[in-house]
Amino acid sequence: MEQIKERIRKAFEKSPKYELVEMPHIDCSEDPVRPELDLAFRRSYGRKIFGIKDGEGDTAAIMCFAFTHKVPKSVEEMDALSKDAAMSGAQGDIAIAYTVWARKKGGGRAIVNEVYKMIKESNHLNRLVTLSPLTDMARNFHLKNGAKELQVNDTTQNFEYDIELEDWEKYLERAKGWFKIK
């Protein structure tokens, strides 16, 4: 029994803790997916940049989003849809992840998990969809991380992460309410 407890303790010690943070500045030339999109594009009209900080305070991965009401098929369409949503006065209800990259091993998967949690806890976002390039690397990354292929377009492909609460999560939320736990 003690050996099992020790293994569990060591497993938790090894797993890095990440903090999801909004990032006001990044070096866009680091982006292997869409380096041509400048900081002004990534920060305007209902768009945000998130990163995950590891235990040492280093940024382990970065993901850029646009918030829309429809699923875009191109970067140009995403630009127009996020502007429309922002100008309507209400942030879009679909989070479109249009680029992601890791600075540290395991960062890509970790940021997907952290963003997934953030969106599930959000009151206004109801979908997490990607606007990915037409590459096998992007396809394999998203499928491996639990996304489903939504559509393949002329120059991009869309994957969707299911953000419905699992039954156990619904029960957990209910129990937290009973015990007044945040």
Domains in the chain: boundaries: 2-178
pLDDT value of residue 122: 85
Helix, strand, coil % (nearest 5) of the chain?
40, 25, 35
User: Does the pLDDT at position 87 exceed 80?
Assistant: yes
Q: What percent of the chain has pLDDT over 70?
A: 84
| Cβ(108)–Cβ(141) below 8 Å | yes
CA distance 110 to 171: 25
Q: What percent of the chain has pLDDT over 90?
A: 58
Question: Tens digit of pLDDT for each residue in 112-171?
Answer: 889 888 888 888 888 999 999 999 999 998 898 889 999 999 999 999 988 775 555 555
pLDDT confidence tier of residue 55, bands split at 50, 70 and 90: confident
Quick one: fold of 2-178?
Aminopeptidase (3.40.630)
Mean pLDDT of 20-30: 94
pLDDT value of residue 5: 67
CA distance 148 to 139: 10
